[in-house]
């Protein structure tokens, strides 16, 4: 049997080929047939470059139909798809190239030659650029090629994508995700969220992460649902397009923004059947205010890059605020402490097993082994408890990871850079409350008194050169000494308590 995800998607939308598949408001609408042909053109492009099943391709491009075409073209060909956040700096991108050694790098139209030079130096065979407009030269070239109607034969464990997740040590890890990981998750989500061809999904998420790419796109395509495809979450465009939609997916920041918007009234959500939230904790406050304003209970679900979606509140039945619901079909979860499985209602590390779970980190065998138990459960690092009905409530994370507006930030990555700056003796990055983004990083620093004072602007400038904007601390606090415990470890918990409300 061919497990190629594109083939599975195609099989599920092929009886609706003439239906509108994607609408970009005020720009264009394309049918499922158009999408199928577009993806075949992109497959042809990859084939012409000599890429084969198992070859790696990295792209760092803006959200567009071409980006979807490239994703689906890779699936068709069995080429491993690795999308990167468009805001990553060249320093960050360099690491990803070194790590997975792609044959092809597709970039947004270049601002300078640096990235192309980096690719050449690192042995990437092909460097291409693609923009978002219909008159983009590469797109025109691709559309002039004969479409290649291929469904490369893929076994269930063949790799569809590698998505990078940040690591506690400051080094990102490439999660290897198979065709079957993706199809099993999309099939489960279609079932539990009741997606049908009647649905219209409002898509405002970026498509370089699991949420916008796999959860939203795969589930909608598999269900032959229409997608209203917006470049980003912009409140005006969202309010304009919500009345035409039936389902929306988003990070909690989207719902905070909507509920605080005065003109968000009944007209906007009259056709909506479901609002889904995930990637970060949805506060009980937002859940309750949203319910009060709209009479809709936001459906919160929980997932990870390594696992796709793990649990979800029910479509029918109680959606309980502060909980992330029940495991998806065929997925098992448990809470453990020091390797022992805990009874119900006891807090521990959440572990997960099922067809959704990735097969390991690219080129990091030891790291992979560390994160799986002997009986094959993946150790998520999230802390939670499971009640007697099987419902999961999350209460934190075992690492210091910060989630800002749905993007993960690992303090270590920032601290490593801060510690190289003259004038800083010690640093600690902590996450504190932020009314819009949920959490944001701030830097707590100790001066090196032997060196002349360094300005905050200089510090931010150094960070800006090396890191994406969303990782830059929103505030810098100078203190005399970081609190440490008997083992010499910085007590970040104390700092978090002290500065918890500094950005509110």
Considering only residues 299, 331, 394, 445, which one is a binding residue for ligand AMP as defined by CB under 6 A? 394
Check residue 212 for interaction with ligand MLC (CB under 6 A): yes
What minimum distance in Å lies between the beta carbon of 460 and ligand MLC? 10
Task: Give the binding-site size for ligand MLC (rule: CB under 6 A).
Answer: 23
Residue (of 76, 81, 135) closest to 106 by Cα position: 81
Question: Binding of ligand AMP at residue 438 (CB under 6 A)?
Answer: no
50 three-state secondary structure: coil
Q: Which among 14-22, 86-94, 272-280, 482-490 is the span making contact with ligand AMP, rule CB under 6 A?
A: 272-280
If one asks whether residue 229 binds ligand MLC (CB under 6 A), the answer comes out as no
Site for ligand AMP contains 210 (CB under 6 A): yes
Q: Using CA atoms, how far apart are residues 136 and 129, in angstroms rounded to an integer?
A: 9
Determine, following the binding rule CB under 6 A, whether residue 353 of this chain makes contact with ligand MLC: no
Helix (H, G, I), strand (E, B) or coil at 133: coil
Q: Which is nearer to ligand MLC, 73 or 278 (CB)?
A: 278
Would you count residue 302 as binding ligand AMP (CB under 6 A)?
A: yes
68 torsion bin: left (phi>0), alpha (psi -120 to 50), beta (else): alpha
* Minimum CB distance to ligand MLC, residue 403 (Å): 7
Hey, what long-range contacts does 13-16 have (CB within 8 A, 24 or more apart)? 13/221, 13/222, 13/224, 15/224, 16/197, 16/224
Which residue in 399, 363, 402 sits closest to 379, CA to CA?
399
Q: Which CB, 324 or 445, lies closer to ligand AMP?
A: 324
Q: Which stretch binds ligand AMP (CB under 6 A): 148-156, 278-286, 409-417, 423-431?
A: 278-286
Q: Does 210 bind ligand MLC (CB under 6 A)?
A: yes
Binding mask 428-447 for ligand MLC (x = CB under 6 A): ---------x----------
- How many angstroms separate the Cα of 12 from the Cα of each of 181, 224, 402? 17, 7, 38
Contact 201, 194 (CB under 8 A): no
Helices 179-193, 5-13: axis angle to 10 degrees equals 30
**Closest separation in Å from C-beta 103 to ligand MLC:** 26
Backbone angles phi, psi at 270, to 5 degrees: -60, -30
The DSSP 8-state label assigned to residue 490 in this structure reads B
Give me the residues that bind ligand AMP (CB under 6 A), please: 165, 210, 278-281, 300, 302-305, 324, 380, 382, 394, 397, 403, 408
Give me the residues that bind ligand MLC (CB under 6 A), please: 87, 205-206, 209-212, 232-233, 251, 253, 278-279, 303-305, 404-407, 437, 469-470
């Amino acid at each position: 049997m061919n497990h190629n995800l594109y083939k599975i998607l195609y099989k599920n939308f092929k009886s609706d080929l003439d239906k509108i598949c994607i609408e970009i408001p005020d720009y264009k609408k394309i049918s499922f047939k158009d999408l199928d042909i577009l993806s075949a053109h992109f497959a042809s492009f990859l084939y012409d470059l000599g890429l084969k099943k198992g070859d790696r391709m990295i792209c760092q491009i803006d959200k567009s139909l071409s980006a979807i075409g490239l994703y689906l073209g890779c699936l068709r060909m069995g080429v491993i798809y690795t999308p990167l956040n468009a805001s990553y700096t060249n320093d960050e991108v360099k690491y990803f190239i070194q790590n997975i050694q792609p044959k092809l790098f597709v970039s947004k139209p270049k601002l300078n030659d640096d990235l192309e030079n980096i690719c050449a130096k690192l042995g990437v065979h092909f460097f291409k650029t693609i923009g978002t407009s219909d008159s983009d030269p590469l797109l025109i070239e691709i559309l002039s090629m004969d479409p290649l109607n291929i469904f490369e034969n893929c076994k269930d464990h063949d790799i569809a994508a590698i998505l990078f997740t940040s690591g506690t040590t400051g080094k990102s890890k490439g999660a290897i995700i198979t065709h079957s990981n993706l199809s099993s998750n999309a099939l489960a989500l279609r079932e539990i969220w009741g997606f049908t061809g009647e649905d219209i999904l409002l898509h405002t998420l970026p498509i370089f992460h699991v949420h916008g790419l796999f959860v939203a796109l795969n589930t909608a395509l598999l269900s032959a649902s229409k997608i209203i495809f917006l470049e980003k979450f912009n409140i005006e465009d969202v309010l304009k397009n919500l009345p035409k939609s039936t389902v929306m997916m988003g990070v909690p920041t989207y719902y905070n923004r909507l509920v605080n918007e005065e003109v968000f009234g009944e007209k906007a959500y009259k056709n909506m059947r479901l609002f889904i939230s995930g990637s970060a904790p949805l506060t009980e406050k937002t859940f309750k205010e949203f319910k009060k304003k709209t009479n809709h209970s936001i459906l919160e679900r929980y997932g990870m890059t390594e696992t796709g979606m793990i649990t979800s509140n029910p479509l029918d039945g109680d959606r309980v605020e502060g909980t992330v619901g029940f495991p998806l079909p065929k997925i098992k979860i448990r809470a453990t402490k020091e390797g022992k499985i805990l009874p119900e209602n006891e807090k521990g590390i959440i572990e997960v097993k099922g067809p959704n779970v990735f097969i390991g980190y690219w080129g990091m065998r030891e790291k992979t082994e560390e994160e799986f138990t002997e009986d094959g459960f993946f150790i998520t690092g999230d802390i939670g408890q499971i009640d007697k009905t099987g419902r999961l409530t999350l209460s934190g994370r075992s690492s210091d990871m910060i989630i800002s507006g749905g993007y993960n930030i690992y303090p270590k990555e920032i601290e490593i850079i801060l510690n190289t700056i003259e004038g800083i003796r010690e640093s600690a990055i902590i996450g504190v409350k932020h009314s819009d983004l949920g959490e944001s990083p701030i830097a707590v620093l100790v001066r090196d008194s032997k060196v002349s004072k360094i300005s905050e602007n200089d510090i931010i400038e150094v960070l800006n050169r090396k890191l994406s904007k969303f990782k830059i601390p929103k505030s810098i606090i100078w203190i005399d000494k970081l609190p440490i415990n008997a083992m010499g470890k910085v007590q970040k918990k104390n700092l978090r308590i002290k500065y918890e409300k500094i950005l509110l």
